[in-house]
Structure 1
Amino acid sequence: MIQGLYTSATGMMSHSSGLNVVSQNIANVNTVAFKQQLYLIGDLSSKNYSAGGAYEVEVKQVGLGSHISEVRSNFKIGNYENGSAETDLALSGKGYFQVTLEDETYYTRAGNFRFNENGFLRAPTGHFLMGIPIDANGNEANYMEPIQINTNDELLASDPPKATTSITSSLNVYNTQNVYNDENNPYFSMLQSWNGNSTPPLSTSAKSLGLQFYDANGVKHSLNVYFDPAPSTNGNQVYEYIVAMDPELDARAEYQGTKSAGLLMTGTMTFSSAGELQNMNSFSPQGGDLTNPANWTLSELQNGLPSVTVQLAGQPSQTIALNLGMKSNGNSWTNGLNGAVNGISAADIGKTFVNIPGMTNPEFNSNATTALRTSPSLKNMSQDGYGAGELQTMFINENGIIQLSYTNGQSHDLYRIPVARFTSEDGLYRAGNNLYQHTSEAGNVEFGIAGTENYGEVMSQTLETSNVDMATEMANMIVLQRGFQSNSKSLQTVDTMLQKAVELKRN
């Protein structure tokens, strides 16, 4: 009977320990990303008793009670609620954020991070969120460091301007009126009529479309593309064109104040009868009177594209690649008469259609310039320059990329928040404050990109809630209470029986 006292006592202790687990869950029902703990009660080893009987095999074991055999964590993902800041983060699937403090590494799903006075992104406990730095070219480092973004730093508070280096545009250059027509140089008649000392430099009947670009100071300017029909044959359509800037802004010393001011490029474009671009050429100025076709030679192509060089007052010269919908795969020119014709002048073309050079192995994009029978228009345009901008917002995307966006429409990636994953989450050690530590029982830790493979996406302005279910915990608490009471009743019964046995002996 004395063993019954100990057995009942172990039952009371195991149910009491189970109640401690339930109390912990209830206490953290509103803790960010808290994971419910589960208790498992197991029996203690049995004691062998010798007992006689009529059978060869006799059960001779009696249990010695119970104990808490294991306390596990339920890693089921909790619900989500709206956060109050962009730096409130949650993971939509598997994974953990890595945080550090004083050379100690921890992992957490509680993403209620905030920047401190030095720009470090920290948890409420002071732990630093770790991230992979991204340089200005978009390359990631091969190490992690505490995320630090000081928006008061001049380098981050504003975005410097960038001068345009390339323009990609698609035009529709249809024009029924042939304004310029020189018998000797019909494909460069408009060029010979240019006068940079006049306003405008060409007749008001000339058609033109503007292409915007930015200078080194972030100031926006325009390149004007003028075009006019030229003699055609075999159903083709040929247009001569000029790329020019405002003559008053042209700071090239040899052309200032002359009728050549503003001229940057000239050439021809050949279209099918349906208005589809077939080929084109471009000529660059070689000095002297630029209204003379002899002073223009075929442009040198860079990556298959011609370019113009702009000189603005007080600034370095600016070279801009111009893509009107096609480029050369051979970086050279050819024509139907002489083959390779690099180096010829615009005057060498004369009035013969087959002399018109074109790009070698031209490659067209889906938005090439056209000569459709509709009004002239700028169908689309993009360029890589921009003006100065001020810091506008910070954004964290689903892959954990921290971006700063500016009023000039630019954004820059600063860090990527990696996501940690373990072979066995059950092997993690609960260190308190919603933190876990890696142990050998958890297996290897692997880092991946959020939102890829089996790694959860990063959700900004979102927090994961506790996965504790109050109804379940209340039910468990009642069961544990009843189990404790039953075991205490057993102990009282055994105690009464012992007292009775003692009284019998005394009598």
Structure 2
Amino acid sequence: MGFSSMYTAATGVKSHGVLLQQIGANLANVNTTAYKSGDTFLETLASQSSGKANSGIVSGGISTPGQIGLGTRVATTRINFKEGSFETTNSSTDIAIGGQGFFRVADPVSNASRYTRAGSFHFDKNGQLVDSHKNILQGYKIDDDGNIGSTSQNIVLPMKEETDTYGNKIMVVKSDPKGTDSVTMRTNLDSGAVDNSSSEDSPFFSLLQEWDGTKDTPLTADKYEYNSSIQIYDDNGNKHDLVVYFDKVINDGDSSDKRHWEYIVTVPPGEDASALTGTSGAGLVMAGTLTFSGDGALLNQSAFTLAAGSADGKDLANWEQATLNSNGQPTFSVTLSGASGTASAQTISLDMGITSGTDSWNTTGVTAADIGSNASSLPGMVDGKLNALATTDYYGSSSTISQSQDGFGEGYLQNVSFSPDGIMSALFSNGMSAELYQVNLYNFKNEFGLRREGSNYFSATIDSGEAIQGVARKDGLGSVVSNSLETSNVDLADEFAYMILTQRGFQANSKGITTTDSMINTALGIKK
């Protein structure tokens, strides 16, 4: 009997030692990123029947034999997947999961998968988003049109080779330049303005006639009422000034209360690489008129551009009606030379607040020379649609209300960001951004069946089932939290309380061993 009691106490010592080992592991990882604490549970080992005792239960007048326990053992261990709190970091590649899910990282050599909640990532020299063990985070690639792929792959920056100023080959992540395709300009033109440039025969194109691209100042300030400039980009990313000059037309031959303004659209003559280079017409890209009602609202617009191949920009017969794009906006073609790249023609639309609903003019085949001095000869847009914000002709000073263009120069990667949906976007020095990947998240039918692999990794087992692939905020998966890391979910107060209870259990069982040993020695002494 003495040996049984010693064995029973020994199982208690051993089991409580395992409990203390689990508590020690939890305490050791109290500051480990995304560590999930473990719980260990004990169960009775066995019991033996004793003929000299009963269970206290009588059945049919016969008492049931009693049982005496033979100790305890470890029943199971279980990972506690309770979410830890989030710690804000200064690294944009630190990410955490708010809710269910795991990141998947792949070994760069074997492509073996590991799953983790620890989102401390960084880009290596090859542009791969890796953890501290060089395993690569997985995600869906997003193409240039914004379509998200369906095959999980390594998240890698789109690096390009470039030669630096010292002639060295370097790898960079660039945003290629985009030439301006569209310019939007809204102005208010003072209804009380005077006609600064006038022409007896062609009052609607007097600004065009006054322009001289061979001079340092092609159009002096006394020849126009107002100008508005905006920077545009050529296809090589070079900046250029686009200037629109406005002047009121008094001698318009219109007896109604309508008011007319002429305008010309220009670029710096020295940057004009078209057939007009070096001529007085260099820099002219569009000319036209704006028609306003008596209360200052825009009614219609005309636009003319130089006929292809024409080298005389001052001959009004060479100015044809501008092409309207699919949005009903007049367009012009311009060839610009800059500091880098070869000059190439690009087409730009100009939106002043009115567009054609049918993408057409009410009169076709008209040149600027055909207009003369009568406003009734001016072509206009068919089914002109006025935008909520348009150019106006109100009394007061002329001013630019708003303006924009859609081009940009080249840019270099400055940073990356992650959305709650796991979309990784690259942020460039030219102010542009591009979506590159969507981070994959994974779930399991039984996450308690996952196997700890060390280094914050888990692996799938038969008990956990295969990983279920998905993305953030769908199918029960959590969201991605940027600039954050999940902390350990160890509760120090609970662990210290468990430690005290475990210590007492260990001491009590060790006392059982020493007491049993004393009893055995006493029994041996009786024999002597």
**Any idea what SS the aligned residue of 2:149 has?**
coil
Q: 1:451 to 1:364 in 2, by over 3 A?
A: farther
Structure 2 match to 1:13: 14
Percent identical pairs in the alignment equals: 38
> Which of residues 333, 336, 339 is equivalent to 1:309?
333
> Which of residues 302, 320, 344 is equivalent to 1:281?
302
| Length, aligned pairs only | 499
Structure 2 match to 1:271: 292
Query: What letter is aligned with 1:66?
Result: T
What is the CA deviation profile of residues 72-122 of structure 1, one whole-angstrom value per residue up to 9, with x for unaligned ones? 112222233344643333233332221112231111111223344444333
Instruction: Give me the whole-angstrom Cα distance separating, in 2, the residues matched to 1:116 and 1:401.
Output: 20
Deviation of 1:25 (Å)? 0.7
Instruction: Give me the whole-angstrom Cα distance separating, in 2, the residues matched to 1:198 and 1:30.
Output: 72
Q: 1:493 to 1:135 in 2, by over 3 A?
A: same
Deviation of 1:435 (Å)? 0.3
Query: What letter is aligned with 1:359?
Result: M
What is the CA deviation profile of residues 211-264 of structure 1, one whole-angstrom value per residue up to 9, with x for unaligned ones? 2212234322122212222346654433222112233433333x3444433321
Structure 1 match to 2:360: 332
**Any idea what SS the aligned residue of 2:99 has?**
coil
**Any idea what SS the aligned residue of 1:260 has?**
coil
Please say which of residues 357-366 and 208-217 is displaced more in the overlay: 357-366
**Any idea what SS the aligned residue of 2:150 has?**
coil
Q: Would the aligned equivalents of 2:26 and 2:490 in 1 still touch at CA under 8 Å?
A: yes
Q: Would the aligned equivalents of 1:311 and 1:318 in 2 still touch at CA under 8 Å?
A: yes
Please say which of residues 82-91 and 21-30 is displaced more in the overlay: 82-91
Deviation of 1:292 (Å)? 4.6
Structure 1 match to 2:456: 434
The answer for unaligned runs of 5 or more in structure 1 is: 335-340
Q: 1:22 to 1:182 in 2, by over 3 A?
A: same
Structure 2 match to 1:111: 119
What is the CA deviation profile of residues 356-414 of structure 1, one whole-angstrom value per residue up to 9, with x for unaligned ones? 43333444444432333333233332223223444444444544444443433333444
Deviation of 1:320 (Å)? 1.6
Please say which of residues 12-21 and 361-370 is displaced more in the overlay: 361-370
Query: What letter is aligned with 1:147?
Result: I
Are 2:68 and 1:40 aligned?
no
CA RMSD in angstroms comes to 3.4
Please say which of residues 183-192 and 478-487 is displaced more in the overlay: 183-192
What is the CA deviation profile of residues 257-309 of structure 1, one whole-angstrom value per residue up to 9, with x for unaligned ones? 44433321122223344433333232222247544544333222222222111
Structure 1 match to 2:189: 173
Q: Would the aligned equivalents of 1:46 and 1:61 in 2 still touch at CA under 8 Å?
A: no
Q: Would the aligned equivalents of 2:273 and 2:343 in 1 still touch at CA under 8 Å?
A: no
Structure 1 match to 2:141: 133
Query: What letter is aligned with 2:188?
Result: N
Q: 1:188 to 1:407 in 2, by over 3 A?
A: same
**Any idea what SS the aligned residue of 2:407 has?**
coil
Q: 1:153 to 1:463 in 2, by over 3 A?
A: farther
Q: Normalising by structure 1, what TM-score? A: 0.85
> Which of residues 221, 240, 247 is equivalent to 1:221?
240
Q: 1:272 to 1:438 in 2, by over 3 A?
A: farther
Please say which of residues 355-364 and 220-229 is displaced more in the overlay: 355-364
Instruction: Give me the whole-angstrom Cα distance separating, in 2, the residues matched to 1:35 and 1:401.
Output: 26
Please say which of residues 7-16 and 104-113 is displaced more in the overlay: 7-16
Q: 1:46 to 1:185 in 2, by over 3 A?
A: farther
**Any idea what SS the aligned residue of 2:22 has?**
helix
Structure 2 match to 1:407: 429
Instruction: Give me the whole-angstrom Cα distance separating, in 1, the residues matched to 2:376 and 2:446.
Output: 74
> Which of residues 222, 230, 244 is equivalent to 1:211?
230
Structure 1 match to 2:167: none
Are 2:111 and 1:95 aligned?
no
Please say which of residues 25-34 and 171-180 is displaced more in the overlay: 171-180
Q: 1:330 to 1:444 in 2, by over 3 A?
A: farther
Structure 2 match to 1:296: 319
Q: Would the aligned equivalents of 2:211 and 2:281 in 1 still touch at CA under 8 Å?
A: yes
Q: Would the aligned equivalents of 2:92 and 2:415 in 1 still touch at CA under 8 Å?
A: no
Query: What letter is aligned with 2:348?
Result: I
Query: What letter is aligned with 2:15?
Result: S
Q: Would the aligned equivalents of 2:157 and 2:173 in 1 still touch at CA under 8 Å?
A: no
Please say which of residues 162-171 and 468-477 is displaced more in the overlay: 162-171
Q: Would the aligned equivalents of 1:171 and 1:369 in 2 still touch at CA under 8 Å?
A: yes
Q: Would the aligned equivalents of 1:87 and 1:461 in 2 still touch at CA under 8 Å?
A: yes
The answer for unaligned runs of 5 or more in structure 2 is: 163-170
**Any idea what SS the aligned residue of 1:223 has?**
strand
Structure 1 match to 2:467: 445
Query: What letter is aligned with 1:474?
Result: F
Query: What letter is aligned with 2:205?
Result: F
**Any idea what SS the aligned residue of 2:437 has?**
strand
Instruction: Give me the whole-angstrom Cα distance separating, in 2, the residues matched to 1:108 and 1:460.
Output: 16
Q: 1:289 to 1:120 in 2, by over 3 A?
A: closer
Instruction: Give me the whole-angstrom Cα distance separating, in 1, the residues matched to 2:346 and 2:229.
Output: 18
Deviation of 1:170 (Å)? 2.3
Q: Normalising by structure 2, what TM-score? A: 0.82
Instruction: Give me the whole-angstrom Cα distance separating, in 1, the residues matched to 2:255 and 2:502.
Output: 98
Instruction: Give me the whole-angstrom Cα distance separating, in 1, the residues matched to 2:157 and 2:221.
Output: 54
Structure 1 match to 2:397: 375
